[in-house]
Structures are given as structure tokens and as C-alpha cells.
Amino acid sequence: MGDARDLETIADSELARYFLKPCDSQAFSARFGLKGFPIADRRHVNVSIERATREGLSLLVQEVIPGPTTNHVFLDGYVARDGTFAALLARRRLRMFPLDFGNSTMTLSIPLSEAEGAVDSLCSRSTPELGGRSGSGPVAGSPCLAYRDALSEPVEPVTAYEVARRWVHEFRDLRAWLGERGRGLNPLVSWRGCEYAIFSRDDRNAFRARGATRCALLARPRELVLDPASGWLPGAKSGRPCASARGASHQRSGGRARA
């Protein structure tokens, strides 16, 4: 979208039901620390678009579907070079940061049956062999798949994965828990037995390096972000003010927003 005029078909009273979603989510998140800009009013739409445009990023409008963080379900998979599904994994978001329009900080592996509709839709569009067979067939990921596939070696489908395994981003999840005012499970308890995003017992250098980077970022001046619900709040980086607001995440039965 180019500017607020692209939202002329949406009434002012309905604007809060939508948000501005980046076309390149990873680049946007790296720059702003968010997954999207909420829409406070038409003036803030133009401010948000101008900020994204300056960074070479484009936006689209997406509807917000209210709901808790745990409504967000991910489907991760691997499609081999011959177009067949070699792996599929379902996981549920437990926490995210920032609390509005943020990235997952803790997820939980769940049975494919809990995301049955999404699995059926994905498989029926991707590979006929798996269509309609949610909960069966290739259902998990493996770091070896891409390696073997790149060498043009046969890729054996992974047919099982462990349910109820948690993954955590150590630095972000602590901030997510504090942002929830400690309402969720204490990290000292919930992190036990987790797969860590950064920390590894046999190579702790990455954890030390990321910790040093996070400390340096926290020491920088912070930008003010306009939140229509509560006024000016600390933002992501120093510079010009930008529009932000209370919102929700996105995705299907973990979906809080849809296109």
C-alpha cells in the first residue's frame, strides 16, 4: 500500500480491527523489533508507511483476530528437491515479545491432530501423496534432511517427533515473562528441559556473544513509540517517533490475524 488513501474503504470506527503487516517480516522485525504496526488513525498510517519506506520495506493491511498468544500454531516442514514432503512439525506459541506484534520466545511441539485443518490444507496444495492424511506420513524435521538433499542423496521422510517439547529464546523470553507481569510460568521452571535457541553446553561462545550484543543494545538511547491506548512508550531504537499500538499476532488457529 502507498498511503492512508488505500484504506478509504475502511470506516474510521473499524481501523482498529486492522494492522500494517510487512511483506518482508524478517527484515522488518530486525529493524523495528515488531511484526507489524497497529493502526491508531489515518495520520499514524502515513507515519508508519513513511518509516517503513525509508527502510526499503513495503506494507499491506491485515485484519486482527483477537485471541491469546497460545492460539497461534505454526507448521514447519521440509519439502525435498523432488517436491515431496519429507517432514512436518506442529508447534504452539506459549509466549512472545514484544507482547503485541512480537516474535515467539517459547513454543511447544504439539500433535498434528491439533492443527488438522491447516495440515490438510497445506498437504493437499503441496503434495498429493500427503493430501488428507494429517497425523500420518512425514511429520517431523531433521537437520540432516537439507544436507542430504543438497548432496542429491535420497531423503528418508521423518515419520515421528516428540510431543510436548519446549523451545525457548533465552533473552527474549525473560522479557516476555516480565512483560506479562509474571503471570505465566516462571522461566526458572518453564526453561527446564527446553531446547535453547542460543545456549549450548558444548559451545557457549554464541551465548556469550549474544549476551554482549544485547547489553550493548540496551545501553543505546531508545525511541518513543506512540501507543494510542497509553501514550508514548519506549520503542526499539533512537531516532524519529513511529506509530505503534496494542494489537495481536497472526496465523490460523494460532492465528490472531488474517489477510
Confidence band for 104, pLDDT divided at 50, 70 and 90: very high
Q: Do 104 and 37 fall within a single domain?
A: no
State whether 161 and 73 are in the same domain: yes
One domain for residues 80 and 118: yes
Q: Same domain for 59 and 124? A: no
pLDDT tens digits, residue range 52-81? 999 999 999 999 888 899 999 999 888 888
What residues contact 115, with CB distance under 8 A and at least 6 apart? Answer: 73, 75, 90, 134, 252, 253
Residue 235 has pLDDT above 70, yes or no: no
Whether residues 214 and 234 share a domain: the answer is no
Residues 131 and 191 in one domain: yes
Number of domains in the chain: 2
Q: Residues 224-241: what's their mean pLDDT?
A: 39
Q: Are 35 and 52 in contact (CB under 8 A)?
A: no
Q: Which of 187, 203, 218 is the last residue of a domain?
A: 218
Q: Are 22 and 59 in contact (CB under 8 A)?
A: yes
Q: Cα 133 vs. chain centroid, distance in angstroms?
A: 26
User: Is residue 73 located within the same domain as residue 195?
Assistant: yes
205 shares a domain with 83: yes
SS3 (DSSP) at 228: coil
Only one residue has cell 521422510, namely: 157
Asked if 73 and 183 sit in the same domain, the reply is yes
Residues 82 and 207 grouped into a single domain: yes
Secondary structure of residue 193 in the 3-state scheme: coil
Are the CB atoms for 214 and 233 separated by under 8 Å? no
pLDDT in tens, 161-214: 899 999 999 888 988 998 887 677 788 788 988 999 888 878 888 888 877 877
Whether pTM > 0.85 for this model: the answer is: no
Confidence grade of residue 94 (pLDDT, cut at 50, 70, 90) = very high
Domain that holds residue 134: 69-218
Question: Strand runs (DSSP E) across 100-245, as ranges?
Answer: 103-110, 166-168, 195-196, 224-227, 231-234, 242-243
Whether 92 and 154 map to the same domain: the answer is yes
Cα gap 150→190, rounded to integer Å: 36
Q: Would you state the cell numbers that stand for residue 160, as one nine-digit string?
A: 515421528
* pLDDT band at residue 126 using 50, 70 and 90 as cut-offs: low
Residue where the block lists cell 478509504: 8
- pLDDT tens track for 79-90: 888 888 888 889
Residues 131, 14 within the same domain: no
